[in-house]
Amino acid sequence: NPDLSGSQFSYIFEELKKKCQATFEPFENALNMVSYFAPKPKAVRGQPFQLQLSESFKIDLQLFVKISEEKFIPKFDQVTENNEHVSKIRQYEVSDETKVDDGEAVPESESKTVVDKGDLIKGYHYGTSIIPFSKADKELSTVEKEGKQLQLVMFTKEENASFEIHLYSFNFGIFQVLPHYLMSNCRWLIPNRKSDSSVTAMTGLVEALKKQGKVAIVRYAYNINSNPRLAVLFPKMTKNGCPVFEHFTLPFNEDFRGFEFPSLEKSGGDPSDYQFDTMETYIDHFMLT
């Protein structure tokens, strides 16, 4: 209220502070605290890649994230009641006298000896035995990563890798399941505009794949620490005539990605013969025979 004076504002704040057990901060400090929860602006930045079609033929590309799920991971610091940071000190102790009971190391006395972390090694239970696993064993069992890559594996027909599935809904008619619903984040690969040869090669490759109705299966690793995965590249030409590959990583292992179907209880009647035939055809596509 603009009619209130400064003393009246102070009185109101003091009363609120007493009854609500609240703390008051200047607007400048409060704005900085609240701004932590606001989405941070991200600049559009392309990741340079090379599409390796053969050992001697590579196309310079730029990778952009088209559709991605935003993940907010809050970070908290442990503090005391006086707002002092709490630091952790880790100490490794070994019992002086132990015995093995059913494969478990059981201490016989309460006396312990402090040891350095470098004196410890990992171990795994195998039945009633404890198998040590040292750093040397870990190095031997670690598969060396090949690093960042985008390497062609094969070309295949688009229907073999197409995820634009048309299904019949009793309430909504025909609808389309977009690729990023069943797959992962959608990325776009465009040619490097600074290289005329890359633009020419990319344009020719995209037009040829679209003409023949094929897509590319590639071996993909985002950076040097990433494990290689299979991905599919869908060719596309934008309205401005720019060749684009839509990039989706393929599911593997226990990577399940389902789709929620509408309830059949609200269909409003018994399914028709056409609907039965549609579902039978859909189920037949799941058969591996």
Alpha helix positions (H), the chain: 6-20, 27-34, 135-141, 158-161, 179-182, 196-212, 273-284
Which range is least confidently modeled, 94-98, 201-205, 226-230, 282-286? 94-98
Spatial distance between the Cα atoms of 208 and 210, rounded to a whole number of angstroms: 6
Element (H, E) at 101: strand 98-101
User: What digits encode the pLDDT tens for the residues 55-70?
Assistant: 889 999 998 887 666 6
Residue 170: pLDDT over 50 = no
Query: In this predicted structure, what is the pLDDT of residue 243?
Result: 92
Which range is least confidently modeled, 131-140, 165-174, 177-186, 194-203? 165-174
Beta-carbon contacts of residue 161 (< 8 Å; ≥ 6 apart): 215, 217, 232, 234
Q: Which residue has the higher pLDDT, 15 or 218?
A: 218
Query: What CA–CA distances, in Å, run from 71 to 39, 66, 68, 75, 251?
Result: 10, 15, 9, 13, 21
Q: Which residue has the higher pLDDT, 171 or 16?
A: 16
Residue 206: pLDDT over 90 = yes
Q: Are residues 256 and 178 in contact, defined by beta-carbon separation less than 8 angstroms?
A: no
Q: What is the CATH number of domain 47-69+145-284?
A: 2.40.290.10
Instruction: Give the rounded distance of the alpha carbon of 93 from its chain centre.
Output: 38
Query: In this predicted structure, what is the pLDDT of residue 259?
Result: 60
211 — pLDDT class (breaks 50, 70, 90): very high
Query: In this predicted structure, what is the pLDDT of residue 245?
Result: 92
Query: In this predicted structure, what is the pLDDT of residue 56?
Result: 86
- What average pLDDT score do residues 125-134 get? 79
- What average pLDDT score do residues 84-101 get? 72
Query: In this predicted structure, what is the pLDDT of residue 38?
Result: 74
Q: Is 139 left (phi over 0), alpha (psi -120 to 50) or beta?
A: alpha
Query: In this predicted structure, what is the pLDDT of residue 96?
Result: 63
User: What digits encode the pLDDT tens for the residues 100-117?
Assistant: 565 566 666 667 778 888
User: What digits encode the pLDDT tens for the residues 179-191?
Assistant: 544 456 788 899 9
Of 176, 188, 171, 197, give the one whose Cα is nearest residue 247. 188
Q: What ranges do the domains of the chain cover?
A: 6-37, 47-69+145-284, 92-141
